[in-house]
Amino acid sequence: MALDTEPKTTQPKTTNMTAYIFFNQEHNLLLCKVHQCAVPSKFIYRHFLDEHDLDLKVRQEIINYASQLCTAEASELVYAPHKVLPVPYLSVVDGFICQYKECNKVLGTLASMKWHCKVDHTWKAKDGEKWTETRAQTFFQGNNNKRYVNLGWRKLI
Ligand SMILES: [Zn+2]
Ligand SMILES: [Zn+2]
């Protein structure tokens, strides 16, 4: 078996759907292990057709499996304000957590955190940083669906 001759950019082919998909029961979501994000059930077909190079058999297996599940939509997710344990198979990013009292909102970029503080807390630049860095995860990709959960890990400098 000359496995090393495979180009590194292609995903290794396997005939088992468990290499690609994981059902998270706690949040009722299907996670793509390769892209480390949740895939809404209505996009399962598109996602595994467009984003993956799969054997028809594996894709069919994934679609059959997904069709038996009724997964949550991004809008149905409730994000806990307190710190949570990392969800397996979701990527971890550097984010920011709002330090205003009882807000605890987590956002992925400094710009979005500043905007949030301005709009929701009438923050002004002279107030200084009212947020700290944290490690965060998001279930869905895409601007409308991106909401982060706080993993409570400060970034180590
Ligand atoms: Zn994927
Ligand atoms: Zn806030």
Alpha carbons 91 and 33: distance in angstroms, whole number: 9
Q: What pLDDT does 13 receive? A: 58
Q: Which residues surround ligand 2, an ion (CB under 5 A)?
A: 98, 100, 103, 105
Question: Parallel, antiparallel, or unpaired for β 21-24 and 106-107?
Answer: unpaired
102 vs 51, residue with greater confidence: 51
Determine the distance separating the centroid of ligand 1 and the alpha carbon of 37, expressed in angstroms: 7
Alpha carbons 6 and 19: distance in angstroms, whole number: 18
Number of Cβ within 10 Å of residue 136's Cβ equals 24
Alpha carbons 73 and 5: distance in angstroms, whole number: 40
Determine the distance separating the centroid of ligand 1 and the alpha carbon of 59, expressed in angstroms: 11
The residue-averaged pLDDT of 22-32 equals 90
Instruction: Please answer whether residues 10 and 16 qualify as being in contact, where contact means their C-beta atoms are separated by less than 8 angstroms.
Output: no
pLDDT at 68 > cutoff 60: yes
70-94: pLDDT as tens digits: 888 777 777 666 777 888 998 888 8
